[in-house]
Structure 1
Amino acid sequence: MTTTDRHPGPTAEARARFEEVWARPRGWRRALTSVQHKSVGTRYMVTAFVFFFVGGFQALLMRVQLAQPEQQVLSAQTYNELFTMHGTTMMFLFAVPFLEGLAAYLLPLVLGSRDMPFARYNTFNYWCYLLAGIILYSSFLVGMVPDAGWFAYVPLSGPEFADKAMDIWLFGLALAELAAIGAAIEMIVVVLAMRAPGMSLDRMPIFAWTMLCVAAMIILAFVPLLVGSLLLELDRNIGTAFFETDRGGDPLLWQHLFWIFGHPEVYVMFLPGAAIISQVIPVHSRHRLVGYPFVVAAVVVTAIMSLGLWVHHMYTTGLPPVTLSFFTAASMSISVASGVQVVAWLATLWSGRPRLTVPMLFSLGFLFTFVAGGITGVMVASAPFDAQVHDTYFVVAHFHYVLIGGMLFPVLAGLFHWWPKFTGRMPSARLGKVSFWLAFVGFHLTFFPMHLTGMWGMPRRVFTYDAGLGVGLLNFLSTIGAFVFAAGLVLTAVTLLGALRRGERSGPDPWRADTLEWATDSPPSASNFARIPVVSGRAPLWDRPPDDPELDRMAAVFDHAPQNVRATPFTTVLSARPDTAAVQAGPSIWPLPAAGGLALAAVGLLLENSWVVGASVLVIVAALVAWELQNERDLGAGEAKEPVGGEYPVEAPGPRSPGWWGATMAAVVLVVAVVTVAFSMLFLQVNAPVWPDGATLGTPWLSAGTGLALLVAITASWWGSRQGPLEHHATPVARTAHLAAVGTTAFAGTVALALTVAQWPAGGLDHTAHAYDSGVLMLVGTLALATVLGLGLTVSALVARLTHTRDVRPRIMLQNAAVLWTGVLVVWAVAWAASDLLPVAVL
């Protein structure tokens, strides 16, 4: 960073006003209304670790059952329930949420920003995640625990074999996935547009690069799982036929949708773990990361390739040999990218002066464990070998070596590394080292013998086994190792929590690190950076301060400023030059009832109570309206109207505005969802034993009218977004134009919605008759949902016009609406192609 005396510093009064505007709520209000990224990130991480220890306890119970052959400590039913909830907890309630919480806490700090771009939305995502966990674990209270496995393969999870417990699982999963997708949107925007001035893309920390790639993977992979969950719920409760062979469905479709999510999720967990190692090893080796460009390339390549490897998990489902050969080659090739990162870490260790701190020990433990897991990964990537071990404990061993080695050990390294930053205190090095050795030895004692039990024939997903297999001793060793591993993790928690009171004061930078988070106080102040840092290299704290008058002027403008509104610089994507100022949201209660309304809707659907569902809709709508009104009030107050320092506007059109990014990301999510539905229909058409010849929706005029209405909505919104000045004043002509644009857009959107809904009865289809009809129902529903979202953003533009006297805010909101309506038009085009074009073309 740089400091300068060329500009006078802020007065004491200005500093006090600045700190007050960023101050966190006090007392009970902090828990319910705080939206600051450190508060939200801390909640994510604490909640995730609570679920982690719950899931770990379930694993210990299963290990006790498997310690000896033919034991009856647990019944088969109880074992299935624990097995399902253990996997669900670790995959959906711990791993991804914890990493998203770590990103929510750290990304603004490592990027030199004051907060996440949509702070209230960030809080909403957390509440959705917490309520998802509560819904899932409420299954124990009502005696309906999911038991179909954390992968929920059809038909075992379908209406014929699974009871209401499966609906609890699906609704909980849906809320958790909504939270993950929302967090991904936050990460993309903060990395691309809210970096410290001077932090061009080639200067970003590896952690930021990785979370950008991970966020893109979440949107492209988690949306298909959300769609798949909805398809399964519809099959279970309204009689659609997506997974029923007799009516044109295919159970294999669920596996495709699940593993389109599931295999990228492995890298969603591994890549952030690897990024933590890329941050920890250079600091504790006192050497810059060797091969930075190659590591960035490896992360990007891994993210891209991971999206095309899902069949890696489906080798034994009877797919054609050519398909298996392709995915075998791809699965083996991705290991090269991981190898590049391993070589870079080893080269950094070799070139530096490593210190055997606790974070370094966990990093070395990760290297050893992950490389071992990678070797077995190459083995199971081979289709012939995988066919022999696919349903054995060999895969369980590989799975845990990759995930615990690739995610948990790095997380523990990161916790010890950043704990001084989080809390301002140093954890005990002695206890930390003991906890590492317990965890490391216990892990390998637990999972290494499973390679042998698998090779010797022990199947996975069984609650007991025959003594004749000869694997009793190995299973006993695994059970002992599980308790040693658990002891190490408990000691880790005790060490970290004990440091909160008794730890030595750390100071801002106890490790003498290189990235921006260590330039702040420990723990960081509410604003992170009273004076925005500027960057001249990849290691800002190790590099010389930049000599750039423009950046220097920006730093002075944002020095303890502005003082009446929360704001942080919004920078250009490639070079991170100062562009505009992004207004940051303050405390709010409304994200909680909005998320609570979604949970209430899930409860109403589970109870099959239309009154509860109706009440939930009212709660959601009321919370969203209040949320939007608060947003507009905040933007209409004080300095929110004026450019910061007279030169950085707080409201600007296009990519210079956070709202534009939000609308663009929402459009992308909608398009990914409808493409997933279209893929599902195409898969069924190609593979289903029965499919109607030349099936089409048969409503060409309604479809064409819908598309035309959407074009009108787009045109009206774009026209309105260009009326009036961008300066902070108003003209009567622009006000009239904006109201006309909003009215025209709302009318066109309403017509599009009505025509969309009318297509279903006009088509004369029956969603229970055939998978084609079921697919059309999903397409129509997706288009209707997208249209409702477009209308919602149009109403927000109307609120902005009625709330503000100036013209710039409604202009921006209309432009955002136009972006989203463009996405809705793409949804319409894909839906039309899937319902009318592909059924005729693919014959």
Structure 2
Amino acid sequence: MTTTDQETRPTAEDRSRFEEVWARPRGWRRALTSVQHKSVGTRYMVTAAVFFFVGGIQALFMRVQLAQPEQQVLSAQTYNELFTMHGTTMMFLFAVPFLEGLAAYLLPLMLGARDMPFARYNTFNYWCYLFAGIILYSSFLVGMVPDAGWFAYVPLSGPEFADKAMDIWLFGLALAELAAIGAAIEMIVVVLGMRAPGMSLDRMPIFAWTMLCVAAMIILAFVPLLVGSMLLELDRNAGTAFFDVERGGDPLLWQHLFWIFGHPEVYVMFLPGAAIISQVVPVHSRHRLVGYPFVVAAVVVTAIMSLGLWVHHMYTTGLPPVTLSFFTAASMSISVASGVQVVAWITTLWSGRPRLTVPMLFSLGFLFTFVAGGITGVMVASAPFDAQAHDSYFVVAHFHYVLIGGMLFPVMAGLFHWWPKFTGRIPSARLGTVSFWLTFAGFHLTFFPMHLTGLWGMPRRVFTYDATLGVGLLNLLSTVGAFVLAAGFVLAATTLLVALRRGERSGPNPWGADSLEWAADSPPSSPNFGRIPVVGSRAPLWNPPPQDPELDGMAAAFDHAPQNVRATPFTTVLAARPGTAAVQARPSLWPLVTAGGLALVAVGLLVGSVWVVAASVLVIVAGFVAWELQNERELGAGEAREPVGGRYPVEAPGPRSPGWWGATAAAVVLVVAVATVAFSLLFLEVNAPVWPAGETLGRPWLSAGTGVALALAVAAAWWGSRHGPLDHAAASEARGVHLAATATAGLAGTAALALTVAQWVTSDLDPTAHAYDSGVLTLLGTQALAIVLGLGITGCAVVARLTHARDVRPRIMLQNSAMLWTGVLVVWAIAWAATDLVPVAVV
């Protein structure tokens, strides 16, 4: 179908072909191959919910043990194992994955898109997350359950005090973090480029603004934890010395890397919860959110400030007073941004006509609970008070008030709010109300007494306590409250599940909501929107769409179209004006195969089998190659290359392409990872009692040659990406140029890899001798890994060139290659500075 100035309505045959191209696989194939965002988001949420209930059962066992002093229901070892796995499950397997699953489901619907930008990659992230959980819980099957705490402080988690169980924890954690970082890339691209025509940044839902900020936080904060996990695993199994004081290491390095992740993690959980409240309260108050610009500003400020608060968790580690004063002020200041959001919600309630629906009840419960947790947060932000309460149950009470109040209550509000959208049925209001009161009462009965037990002297992280402390009654109340809280969650889950079959049918928009997800069917069809909506305000369902011929033209062009390829509009970043069409992936098995290969690498390393690791690497390579071939094969068909409606090309270079944003985000991830290793080396140099003064890598020609080779790879890829016509109807004019560019970039990258390996081999450094040697060789290793990734995307550009008869797709893949090679060049610059420039400058 084509669109001219005179709009043409799709015929019944057009609609049928459109639905067919978006149809989901059936039967067992859907579970293994479906890549559609609603399927993936549902898998995330269901899997995370299972882990939540497992973690909750672990918490109940611990509460039974602590119900009375000097009980022996659990041994000290069993308690430590449950304590470690409870925290690990809730932080790494439930909270962030559930929120990312909710975002994967809702963001395309809220933004007026048909899918996530890289649907197969989105599925790959889910499989990595699932395998991470399986690896972590396999520890129970082999009798090696991690017991060093969910924070894994060194040296308790080091080779001296922890057995193979810690390796299981580290590999599971690495896969989970890899999945979270990949999901963050997806969220950034979908929010920035896949909004409905007319949905400018100042018209985006608060949930979209928040997930954009959260995604940036994940990249900047989760990558350091991934690097820290790698360094600890190297210490444990390769003999490096990053955390060994006697060889120049420092256990505090782990705490810095962990809490650089850990404190933003709190806001990665809280901000989406707050965003849910910002979506729920206006709808159930029948009033637009008051102070929208201030709420957006508060979210952005909170995200930025959260990245600089990690020392808040390290007040008792002997840091200088000036450092404590700075982080005290920063920790207290961030509460102002949270307060802005609280004021906006209260004002919206006051200005509207609130309905005491189940979502509203959980929202009000959140407000009360989070404000109470925020007050104690200001208390522990003070270094003198924290020094007294840090290792007591007061802190346990505080962070459960913040995390459960700031995340679980909003999640329950969101589930009851969006359940009609997910399922097409409304949960029972009566059962939902009872579940709220059980949850609310159980929560406060569980955690409020912990403030008192902490102030009365009960330490945390202990499996029993002395009767003379006088906190037995309070602990008994907390245990009773935990079972009431569990009953509330079980009833809520039962209510939602019963509604799947017996709930009242909802219709598309039972709450009279204002955001775009309620414009779709309930439950949504596979493509979400047959005709892409046009947006003219922050409340598109409460206000008529704008009369804009350009926006209407794009909506008409995508009206049940195209019918030969999955596609959705890709609009400009600021104003969401019409731009291009983003091609969406079809079902595929290869994301599962590739993620399975990564999991098998972890298994091979755990069992010490070189053959398993080698075979797993082959599976990964084969999976990625087949994945890329499928991508290019789907894009290679002539009809799949035609502009949608004759006006919106399905491929375009620069920021008009999702791949450009994805390659840029991948380059940023590489740079953050290597910068983390470099700053770790600098931290050790400043704090180690003995450090090689002024010593450099001593291979200036090899280092310079590596930089030159990488610069050549960047130049070649950029040169190739600028040749060839963008007209999809034109024959290839730059095939030779593209092949020459990819060959040059590939040879230059191979030379850079060889020179990096040569620096490693010819150096006289021993990674087991000193932390300096460990750090330098680790920098070279990460640089080599980055070069391998650059070679991989160059290989993808070669496949694109050999597959396509026209020049647009090869140009775009060369452009993506150039973006990643630029990141690799920055990686080299950081490594070179850390190994050669900084040591000389310090001297």
| Alignment TM-score, normalising by the size of structure 1 | 0.99
State the distance in 2 between where 1:365 and 1:334 align: 22
Which amino acid in 2 is paired with 1:57? I
Which amino acid in 2 is paired with 1:349? L
CA 1:92–1:732 in 2, change beyond 3 Å: closer, same or farther?
Answer: closer
Q: Deviations over 1:290-309 (max 9, x none)?
A: 00000000000000000000
Match of 2:568, SS state, is strand
State the distance in 1 between where 2:459 and 2:441 align: 25
Whether 2:619 is the aligned partner of 1:619: answer: yes
Displacement of 1:729 after TM fit? 4.6
Q: Note the 1:366-515 alignment, pairs <5 A.
A: 366-515=366-515
Q: Note the 1:102-141 alignment, pairs <5 A.
A: 102-141=102-141
Asked if the contact 1:562/1:639 (under 8 Å) is kept, the reply is no
State the distance in 2 between where 1:25 and 1:637 align: 21
Asked if the contact 1:604/1:610 (under 8 Å) is kept, the reply is yes
Equivalent residue number for residue 333 of structure 1? 333
Displacement of 1:763 after TM fit? 1.8
Equivalent residue number for residue 313 of structure 2? 313
Which amino acid in 2 is paired with 1:239? G
Asked if the contact 1:724/1:730 (under 8 Å) is kept, the reply is no
Match of 1:617, SS state, is helix
Equivalent residue number for residue 264 of structure 1? 264
Which amino acid in 1 is paired with 2:708? L
Equivalent residue number for residue 350 of structure 2? 350
Whether 2:598 is the aligned partner of 1:604: answer: no
State the distance in 2 between where 1:614 and 1:117 align: 32
Asked if the contact 1:115/1:527 (under 8 Å) is kept, the reply is yes
Q: Deviations over 1:87-123 (max 9, x none)?
A: 0000000000000000000000000000000000000
Which amino acid in 1 is paired with 2:281? I
Match of 1:535, SS state, is coil
Equivalent residue number for residue 83 of structure 2? 83
Displacement of 1:638 after TM fit? 4.5
Q: Note the 1:163-182 alignment, pairs <5 A.
A: 163-182=163-182
Displacement of 1:814 after TM fit? 0.6
Displacement of 1:730 after TM fit? 5.5
Equivalent residue number for residue 728 of structure 2? 728
Unaligned runs of 5+ in 1: none
Whether 2:221 is the aligned partner of 1:221: answer: yes
State the distance in 1 between where 2:159 and 2:792 align: 35
State the distance in 1 between where 2:260 and 2:733 align: 51
Match of 1:581, SS state, is strand
Which amino acid in 1 is paired with 2:609? N
Q: Note the 1:539-618 alignment, pairs <5 A.
A: 539-618=539-618
Equivalent residue number for residue 788 of structure 1? 788
Which amino acid in 1 is paired with 2:312? H
Displacement of 1:8 after TM fit? 2.9
Q: Deviations over 1:471-505 (max 9, x none)?
A: 00000000000000000000000000000000000
State the distance in 2 between where 1:334 and 1:794 align: 43
State the distance in 2 between where 1:599 and 1:196 align: 37
Unaligned runs of 5+ in 2: none
Displacement of 1:662 after TM fit? 1.0
Q: Deviations over 1:153-207 (max 9, x none)?
A: 0000000000000000000000000000000000000000000000000000000
State the distance in 2 between where 1:688 and 1:607 align: 34
CA 1:455–1:119 in 2, change beyond 3 Å: closer, same or farther?
Answer: same
State the distance in 1 between where 2:228 and 2:545 align: 51
Asked if the contact 1:447/1:478 (under 8 Å) is kept, the reply is yes
Which amino acid in 2 is paired with 1:771? A
Equivalent residue number for residue 662 of structure 1? 662
Displacement of 1:842 after TM fit? 2.3
Displacement of 1:840 after TM fit? 2.1
Equivalent residue number for residue 291 of structure 1? 291
Displacement of 1:727 after TM fit? 1.1
Equivalent residue number for residue 188 of structure 1? 188
State the distance in 2 between where 1:535 and 1:705 align: 53
Q: Deviations over 1:31-63 (max 9, x none)?
A: 000000000000000000000000000000000
Which amino acid in 1 is paired with 2:421? K
Displacement of 1:6 after TM fit? 6.1
Number of aligned positions between the proteins: 840
Match of 1:578, SS state, is coil
Asked if the contact 2:530/2:559 (under 8 Å) is kept, the reply is yes
Asked if the contact 2:569/2:581 (under 8 Å) is kept, the reply is yes
State the distance in 2 between where 1:330 and 1:649 align: 48
State the distance in 2 between where 1:751 and 1:788 align: 11
605-614 vs 721-730, which moves further: 721-730
Which amino acid in 1 is paired with 2:473? L
Asked if the contact 2:514/2:541 (under 8 Å) is kept, the reply is yes
Q: Deviations over 1:576-609 (max 9, x none)?
A: 0010000000000000010000000000000010
Match of 1:643, SS state, is coil
Q: Deviations over 1:128-172 (max 9, x none)?
A: 000000000000000000000000000000000000000000000
Displacement of 1:640 after TM fit? 1.8
Equivalent residue number for residue 95 of structure 1? 95
State the distance in 1 between where 2:638 and 2:338 align: 51
State the distance in 1 between where 2:839 and 2:164 align: 35
State the distance in 2 between where 1:47 and 1:40 align: 11
State the distance in 1 between where 2:839 and 2:203 align: 49
State the distance in 2 between where 1:271 and 1:839 align: 41
Displacement of 1:313 after TM fit? 0.2
Asked if the contact 1:583/1:640 (under 8 Å) is kept, the reply is no
Equivalent residue number for residue 772 of structure 2? 772
Which amino acid in 2 is paired with 1:516? L
Displacement of 1:723 after TM fit? 1.4
> What value does the CA root-mean-square deviation take over the aligned residues?
0.9
Equivalent residue number for residue 823 of structure 1? 823
Equivalent residue number for residue 687 of structure 1? 687
Whether 2:60 is the aligned partner of 1:60: answer: yes
Equivalent residue number for residue 702 of structure 1? 702
Instruction: Name segments (4+ residues, structure 1) moved above 6 Å.
Output: none
Displacement of 1:639 after TM fit? 2.9
Displacement of 1:242 after TM fit? 0.2
CA 1:783–1:485 in 2, change beyond 3 Å: closer, same or farther?
Answer: same
Asked if the contact 2:725/2:733 (under 8 Å) is kept, the reply is no
Provide the identity percentage: 86
Displacement of 1:809 after TM fit? 1.0
Asked if the contact 1:793/1:817 (under 8 Å) is kept, the reply is yes
Equivalent residue number for residue 43 of structure 2? 43
State the distance in 1 between where 2:526 and 2:638 align: 21
State the distance in 2 between where 1:738 and 1:668 align: 25
Match of 2:155, SS state, is coil
Asked if the contact 2:694/2:842 (under 8 Å) is kept, the reply is no
State the distance in 1 between where 2:296 and 2:762 align: 52
State the distance in 1 between where 2:756 and 2:175 align: 26
State the distance in 2 between where 1:351 and 1:545 align: 25
Asked if the contact 1:729/1:805 (under 8 Å) is kept, the reply is no
Displacement of 1:637 after TM fit? 2.1
State the distance in 2 between where 1:221 and 1:794 align: 28
State the distance in 2 between where 1:507 and 1:732 align: 51
State the distance in 1 between where 2:742 and 2:250 align: 44
Asked if the contact 1:565/1:638 (under 8 Å) is kept, the reply is no
Whether 2:157 is the aligned partner of 1:157: answer: yes
Asked if the contact 2:724/2:732 (under 8 Å) is kept, the reply is no
Q: Note the 1:621-660 alignment, pairs <5 A.
A: 621-660=621-660
Asked if the contact 1:730/1:805 (under 8 Å) is kept, the reply is no
State the distance in 2 between where 1:112 and 1:5 align: 23
State the distance in 2 between where 1:831 and 1:731 align: 43
State the distance in 1 between where 2:423 and 2:541 align: 21
